[in-house]
Amino acid sequence: MWIEIAKNTWAEAKDEEEAARIRAKYKGYKKKQGDLTSRHFIVNYIEETNFYKIMKLSKHLSVKEATYSATAIKHGINNEPNIAQLEVLKALAKAIFEPCRKFVGGPLRVSSGFRSLALNQRIGGSLSSDHMINDEKTAAFDLDCDTYNNGNNAELFHYIRTKLEFKQLIWEFGDEYTPNWVHVSYSTNPKFNKREVLIAKRKGGRTVYEYWKD
């Protein structure tokens, strides 16, 4: 079960007894530190308890899901976002993930979410990748409907393209009918959400990008 311990701050508890313990822990922290906002609480609690692993970014998306990386686990790479990056991930989850999940009608996989610098270097990602949240304003998710068979990636792509605000949207490989996955980035600064739409293709052993044409 998930409980909201502060505004937009969630924790997972296996039962009511554990939920009560977590709430008491938070209240004790407030009493000790004074009148804290949820943001301040997260900073201290993450450092002391690694709490971020059970924290939720939104109703249907945990930090664990948004930061999971088999490569990071295999190579022992720290892929933990800092507090500023967590706030941007929350915004992305609210503006993009939750509407997309509602659109497909069920669970939706984040195949790639946050990447630390070390992880991004390991997989050969772009130095300017929004997955790294370099500017502490813009974050990105790769979304894939195929994992849970809810909707399809082409429909998801067009839903985002026509209905949501975003910085960049990419039809990632696949064919003319459906992409292998959908990349979408979002900024907490509205002026950066310029709705750039691209298609990623492989040509001559490298990735090239073309602008989407209606």
38 touches 6 (CB < 8 A): yes
Contacts of 117 (CB under 8 A, 6+ apart): 132
pTM attached to this predicted model: 0.78
pLDDT for 44: 46
The pLDDT > 70 percentage for the chain reads 80
Q: What is the pLDDT of residue 19?
A: 74
- Enumerate residues 6+ apart whose C-beta is below 8 A from 132: 114, 115, 116, 117, 120, 125
For the stretch 109-160, pLDDT in tens is 999 999 999 999 999 999 999 999 998 899 999 999 999 999 999 999 999 9
pLDDT at 55: 79
pLDDT confidence of residue 50: 52
Distance CA 151, CA 169 (A): 18
Residue 28's pLDDT is 57
**Bigger pLDDT: 176 or 8?**
176
Kindly report, residue by residue over 26-72, the tens digit of the pLDDT.
665 544 444 444 444 444 444 444 555 567 899 999 999 999 999 99
- Exposure b/e, 38-59, CB count within 10 A at least 16 = b: eebbbbebbeeeebbebbbbbe
Q: Residue 184 above 80 pLDDT? A: yes
Cβ atoms of 19 and 4 within 8 Å: the answer is no
What is the domain partition of the chain in residue ranges? 1-54, 68-211
Q: What is the mean pLDDT of residues 169-189?
A: 97
Q: Between β-strands 138-144 and 2-6, what pairing exists: parallel, antiparallel or unpaired?
A: unpaired
In the predicted model, what is the mean pLDDT of the chain? 86
Question: Which pLDDT belongs to residue 47?
Answer: 45
pLDDT of amino acid 17: 81
The arithmetic mean of pLDDT across residues 162-174, rounded, is 98
Instruction: State how far the Cα of 109 lies from the Cα of 19, in Å rounded to an integer.
Output: 27
Range with the poorest average pLDDT among 35-49, 89-103, 197-211: 35-49
pLDDT value of residue 39: 44
What torsion, rounded to 10 degrees, do the Cα atoms 18, 22, 27, 32 define? 120
CATH assignment, 68-211: 3.30.1380.10
> Does residue 144 sit in helix, strand or coil?
strand
Predicted pLDDT at 40: 43
